């Protein structure tokens, strides 16, 4: 293996053929099953887009209804899952609790179904994971806070239920539409680290629960999904340190310490605007009224973006506006990354289905840099 064949971080390496999605940099388009994700986010619901991602075609009205009903039927958690969430130490990170929860769900499948990697079986199990994901995430958070559990309400739609389980009250339409848009923007994004992790695990013919459990661990990292929490916390920290007038100095200080500003930069987009972030930034002013400090935070948000562009030519990625929007929607910060994962489940399911349907084991090599020729005494 030579230097020439080695790409640090596998940058630019094509890991698998796929019909799920593709980042077309020249056309600035996130192609999802042939459609532009941004157009889908503007014109279609999260549920319709999830169906498209998983099944490969946009659903008609009947298919959307049936899909929504199946998700409702599968949303109840096994009792044991609540007991496990309750038994976790209160200091457990919500993303770790979600990882444990998804892993636990595997135990409720019969061994035959669990090990069945056929497309039909994966679609059934994938739908269960999608239905139960937000219930696990929200209730993991409640368990850590010592709050009562809030199961899904079968009368509510998928996104409404997420807000219901977070806040324990009927969500307003404005918030539901905003979360629908955010979930759609997060739904699928070609081959990020978490999707790659899921496919690597699936390639050993391990099951879909294991593959998605691995993806949760990957997405938790601050260089990936964890950036939405870090970005919101930075905006709040700037507010605490003095507000909009302090934003420039705050970022310059971070730069002088060679720290990364979370929510900026992207391996594939590099110095291009992430189309999801470009779409979502225009929604922010509609939601600043939801928090008393919303306008001030928005001024900080804009200054940070300006300074980052001036200093680094880096643009925000999706996690920057989404971290802020989720805060404005009054979602607790520790739930931001777990909800990102929940929104991404359709994408992960589609990739695991694809991997299992046409599998070749992932097994790369190393560029060996250790010693040779040593002998034990």
Q: Which of 224, 274, 351, 356 is catalytic?
A: 224
Annotation says 266 is catalytic: yes
Stretch that binds ligand ACO, among 63-71, 100-108, 198-206, 317-325 (CB under 6 A): 317-325
Nearer to ligand ACO, 164 or 186 (CB): 186
Annotation says 55 is catalytic: no
Nearer to ligand ACO, 70 or 272 (CB): 272
* Residue 318 touches ligand ACO, criterion: CB under 6 A: yes
* Residue 323 touches ligand ACO, criterion: CB under 6 A: no
- What is the nearest approach in angstroms of ligand ACO to the Cβ of residue 77? 27
* Residue 130 touches ligand ACO, criterion: CB under 6 A: no
Nearer to ligand ACO, 210 or 225 (CB): 225
Nearer to ligand ACO, 203 or 337 (CB): 337
Residue 195 to residues 51, 95, 135, 344: CA-CA distances in angstroms?
18, 16, 22, 9
Residues 194-213 that bind ligand ACO (CB under 6 A): none
Nearer to ligand ACO, 160 or 305 (CB): 305
Stretch that binds ligand ACO, among 34-42, 219-227, 235-243, 367-375 (CB under 6 A): 219-227
Q: Which of 142, 189, 266, 351 is catalytic?
A: 266
- What is the nearest approach in angstroms of ligand ACO to the Cβ of residue 348? 14
Alpha-carbon distance of 90 to 92, in angstroms, equals 5
Contacts with ligand ACO, 335-364, as mask; x by CB under 6 A: ------------------------------
Nearer to ligand ACO, 225 or 346 (CB): 225
Residue 269 to residues 10, 19, 26, 72: CA-CA distances in angstroms?
15, 20, 10, 36
- What is the nearest approach in angstroms of ligand ACO to the Cβ of residue 221? 8
HEC profile of the chain? CCHHHCCHHHCCCCCCCCCCEEEECCCCEEEECCEEHHHHHHHCCHHHHHHHHHHCCCCCHHHHHHHHHHHHHCCCCCHHHHHHHHHCCCCCCHHHHHHHHHHHHHHHCCHHHHHCCCHHHHHHHHHHHHHHHHHHHHHHHHHHHCCCCCCCCCCCCHHHHHHHHHHCCCCCHHHHHHHHHHHHHHCCCCCCHHHHHHHHHHCCCCCHHHHHHHHHHHHHCCCCCCHHHHHHHHHHHHHHHCCHHHHHHHHHHHHHCCCCCCCECCCCCCCCCCHHHHHHHCCHHHCHHHCCCHHHHHHHHHHHHHHHHHHHCCCECCHHHHHHHHHHCCCCHHHHHHHHHHHHHHHHHHHHHHHHHCCCCCCCCCCCCCCCCCCCC
Nearer to ligand ACO, 223 or 252 (CB): 223
- HSE (side-chain half, CA atoms, 13 Å) at 281: 15
Longest CA span, the chain:
74
- What is the nearest approach in angstroms of ligand ACO to the Cβ of residue 31? 17
- What is the nearest approach in angstroms of ligand ACO to the Cβ of residue 364? 18
Residues 222-281 that bind ligand ACO (CB under 6 A): 223-225, 227, 260-267
Q: Which of 319, 325, 353, 354 binds ligand ACO (CB under 6 A)?
A: 319
Cβ-closest position to ligand ACO: 265
- What is the nearest approach in angstroms of ligand ACO to the Cβ of residue 215? 12
Applying CB under 6 A, the residues found at the interface with ligand ACO are 9, 223-225, 227, 260-267, 312, 314, 317-319
Active-site residues: which are they? Answer: 224, 266, 319
């Amino acid at each position: 293996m030579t230097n020439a064949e080695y790409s640090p971080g596998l940058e630019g390496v094509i890991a698998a053929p796929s019909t799920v999605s593709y980042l077309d940099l020249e056309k600035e388009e996130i192609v999802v099953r042939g459609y532009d994700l941004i157009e889908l986010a503007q014109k279609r619901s999260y549920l319709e887009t999830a169906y498209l991602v998983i099944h490969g075609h946009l659903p008609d009205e009947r298919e959307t209804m049936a899909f929504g009903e199946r998700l409702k039927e599968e949303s109840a958690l096994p009792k044991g899952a609540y007991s496990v969430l309750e038994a976790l130490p209160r200091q457990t990170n919500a993303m770790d609790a979600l990882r444990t929860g998804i892993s636990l769900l595997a135990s409720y499948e019969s061994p035959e179904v669990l090990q069945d990697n056929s497309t039909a079986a994966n679609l059934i199990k994938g739908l269960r994971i999608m239905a139960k994901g937000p219930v696990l995430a929200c209730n993991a958070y409640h368990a850590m806070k010592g709050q009562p559990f809030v199961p899904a309400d079968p009368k509510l739609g998928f996104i409404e239920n997420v807000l219901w389980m977070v806040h324990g009250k009927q969500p307003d339409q404005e918030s539901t539409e905003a979360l629908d848009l955010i979930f759609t923007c997060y739904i699928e994004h070609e081959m990020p680290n978490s999707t790659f992790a899921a496919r690597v695990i699936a390639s050993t013919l391990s099951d879909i629960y294991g593959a998605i459990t691995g993806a949760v661990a990957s997405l938790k990292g601050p260089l990936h999904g964890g950036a939405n929490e870090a970005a919101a916390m930075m905006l709040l920290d700037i507010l605490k340190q003095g507000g909009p007038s302090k934003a420039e100095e705050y970022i310059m200080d971070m730069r002088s310490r060679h720290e990364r500003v979370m929510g900026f930069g992207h391996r594939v987009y590099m110095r291009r605007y992430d189309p999801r972030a470009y779409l979502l930034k225009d929604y922010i002013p509609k939601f600043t009224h939801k928090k008393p400090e919303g306008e001030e935070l928005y001024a900080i948000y804009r200054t940070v973006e300006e300074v980052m562009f001036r200093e680094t030519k880096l643009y925000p990625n999706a996690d920057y506006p989404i971290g802020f929007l989720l805060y404005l929607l009054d979602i607790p910060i520790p739930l931001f990354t777990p909800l990102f994962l929940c929104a991404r489940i359709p994408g992960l399911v589609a990739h695991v289905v694809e991997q299992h349907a046409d599998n070749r084991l992932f097994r790369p090599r190393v560029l060996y840099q250790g010693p040779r020729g040593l002998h034990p005494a």
